[in-house]
Structure 1
Amino acid sequence: MFSRIIRVPLLKQFGSRSLFIQTLTTPNENALRFVPNGATILPSQKTPTVEINNIKEAIHKSELAMKLLSLNDKAISSILFGYDFITVVKYSEDNEVKNKADSVKPQSWSVLKPQIFALLTEHLTMGGSVLSPEYFQHLQKIDNEEIVMNENNENDDEFDKDLTPEEEVVLLIKELLTTRIQPAIQEDGGDIKFIKFDHEQGIVYLKLIGACKSCSSSEITLKSGIEDMLKYYIDEVKSVQQVLDGDANDIDNVNEDVIIEEKKSFIKHTVDELPPSL
């Protein structure tokens, strides 16, 4: 899986150490995962990954993403920033590029990878931030608020009593995604986002991002891995469905999710047997 390392002198945040950039392949042939040693990109390991799909999004979030998305006539489809990795997804011949005056010409990794290496190396060694200071502080603030909220909930004996059965199921789903599923998916350069839970039909709606979004095996991962694991632990879950970009289901969850986030807390769920593996 390990394919290449670049070593260059480091400046500013890397001090006197050398910068090693690992390039890791992913199950998606159109995605590569870059891991710069000694660099952390997000405020904490609990910070949700950040996906940037276009230059408009990148302007306020990441100068580095804006540079990457501009490479080689915009041959890059999306960027995913994890705690200590960067996933770059390129367009393939199967990608349909809509709402663009000129279609994107797909490029091979033999062309794009050296360009990405050069860009990452220059940006990081010159002390450039991965995320804009304002957006980084925004993520940091969310992390701190969540820590305080969880601490308050742990000390509140009435908290669990205030949860409806539906809210408790949603919290269990989120805990399972965070502790058992996301770490494995992030190792492959992707991530998964909870969108909503249909209580009446028992359907969990999830969104795959990063390397997982356009991966040919994503449906297998959803059905044979994630769905089996959620059903194993949570009786109320009957099936899992993927939400695609622009899907109405991505918006339907807003009101429900706000209520859940106000009561956000991890519910400890102990089991004696191992779940199905991803």
Structure 2
Amino acid sequence: MKITIKETQNPTILKFEFPDFITKNENFEFKNIDETKNSPLAQQLFYLPFVKTVYISGNFIAIERFSIVEWKDVQEDVAQQIENFISTGGKIILEDESKTKKQPITVYGETTPNPAALKFVINKGITKSTVEFKNIDDAKASPLAQELFKLPYVKELFITENYISVTKYESYTWEEITLELRTFIKQFIENGGTVLDESLIEKSSKQDKQEIKNFDNLDVTSQEIINILEEYVKPAVAADGGNILFDSYDETTKKVKVVLQGSCNGCPSSTFTLKNGIENMLKSMLHNEDIVVEAING
């Protein structure tokens, strides 16, 4: 295990990063040695005379120093001391035995046709709903999404039955962030974090059109289109980390509008591919060559 030393905006605070997460969705701050009963490592660090505060969170330990030393003079020794402590079996945080043991889960990443989106598959159901969040303000119903949006590279999220599709900003590569995302999602769920509070989901008008209660109010052609999308299109789209919603059908222009979500949203090729694939399918199955499909990004 190799620790990486990173500077912060505060010159008195230095971060010592680990290659993996060291806490389970918890943050710790220790102001003195008396507060370190549940952290043998923090207790050890306070024996150093220049240590003022120890922070433990995510995949790092941050240390604030007193002004009696400069970090450049001691940082390598501190990193070595932490590495030695861990390698000899020292505990960073002591487990709270009173907490219920969580069932381990598996999370793995799958590529999608959209190079900006990755699909994280969980080996158990996480929700009965399908939701898409464009930003943290949209994510009131999902504590997991709120936490993920705090990561600087998360742009959009799509959550459904057993996977989470993450869309990143272009300035980051998947090689840099995949392990952190996978570990974060895995530990959040294992520790009992709420993925989605179904009661807080705000249904959009687009989603309402998919509700069974509205199905009977649609014209026959719209009902046929929805049935075709549900049976033939959605399973293939879901396999690629996306979703498709029926938006509308105009009897006069024969135009079908569908909404793309998840990895399909913003994909360079999906709008063209899906539009033409769905259009040809609907023309064939509805026996109507005048049908035109317009794909909308959700």
Identity between Structure 1 and Structure 2 (%)? 31
1:226 positional shift: 1.2
Q: Tell me whether 1:216 sits opposite 2:281 in the alignment.
A: no
CA contact (8 A) 2:102 2:191 kept: no
Name 1:23's counterpart in structure 2.
109
Name the SS for the 1:107 alignment partner: coil
Instruction: Quote the offset at 1:135 in angstroms.
Output: 2.9
Q: Structure 1 12/117 Cα, relative in aligned 2: closer, same or farther at 3 Å?
A: farther
Distance 2:261 2:219 in 1: 25
Q: Could you tell me which residue of structure 2 aligns to residue 112 of structure 1?
A: 177
Secondary structure in structure 1 of the residue aligned to 2:236: helix
Letter in 1 for 2:123: N
CA distance in 2, matches of 1:87, 1:13: 27
User: Which is greater in Rg?
Assistant: 2
Change (3 A) 1:35 1:234: same
Q: Is the 8 A contact 2:275 2:295 kept in 1?
A: no
Q: Counterpart of 1:83?
A: 161
TM-score, with structure 2 as normaliser: 0.59
Report the alpha carbon displacement of residue 243 of structure 1 after superposing the two structures with TM: 2.0
Cα pair distance change 1:12/1:226, threshold 3 Å: farther
* Compared CA separation, residues 235 and 133, structure 1 to 2 (3 A): closer
CA RMSD of the aligned region, Å?
3.0
Residue 125 (structure 1) aligns with = 190
Structure 1 residue runs of 5 or longer lacking an equivalent are: 1-8, 93-105, 154-158, 246-278
Matched-pair contact (CA < 8 Å) for 2:126–2:161: yes
Q: Cα–Cα, structure 1 residues 222 and 70, in superposed 2: closer, same or farther, change >3 Å?
A: same
SS of the residue aligned with 2:200? helix
Judged with a 3 Å threshold, the aligned counterparts in structure 2 of structure 1 residues 211 and 244 are, in CA distance, closer, same or farther, namely closer
SS at match of 1:89: strand
Measure how far apart 1:213 and its partner are. Answer: 1.0
Aligned partners of 2:261 and 2:297 also within 8 Å: no
8 Å CA contact 1:42–1:136 kept in 2: the answer is: no
Tell whether the 8 Å contact from 2:141 to 2:197 is kept in structure 1 after alignment: yes
Structure-1 separation of matches of 2:274 and 2:101: 39
Judging by fraction of residues, say which structure has more strand.
2
Structure with a larger share of its residues in helix: 1
SS in 1 for 2:105: strand
CA distance in structure 2 between the partners assigned to 1:14 and 1:221 by the alignment: 42
**1:79-98 CA distance string (max 9 Å, x none):** 11111111001122xxxxxx
Confirm or deny: 8 A CA contact 1:77 1:89 kept in the other structure: yes
The verdict on how the C-alpha distance between 1:56 and 1:179 changes in structure 2, with shifts beyond 3 A counting, is same
Aligned ranges 1:1-16 → 2 under 5 Å: 15=103
With normalisation by structure 1, the TM-score equals 0.63
Residue 277 of structure 2 aligns to a residue whose secondary structure is helix
Per the TM alignment, residue 209 of structure 1 is displaced from its structure 2 partner at its CA by 1.1
Residue of 150, 161, 164 corresponding to 1:70: 150
Runs of 4+ in 1 over 4 A off after TM superposition: 11-14
2:126 aligns with 41
Unaligned stretches of 5+ residues in structure 2: 1-23, 25-98
Q: Give, in whole Å, the separation in 1 of the partners of 2:187 and 2:230.
A: 33
Q: Taking structure 1 as reference, are residues 171 and 217 closer, same or farther at Cα in structure 2, changes over 3 Å only?
A: same
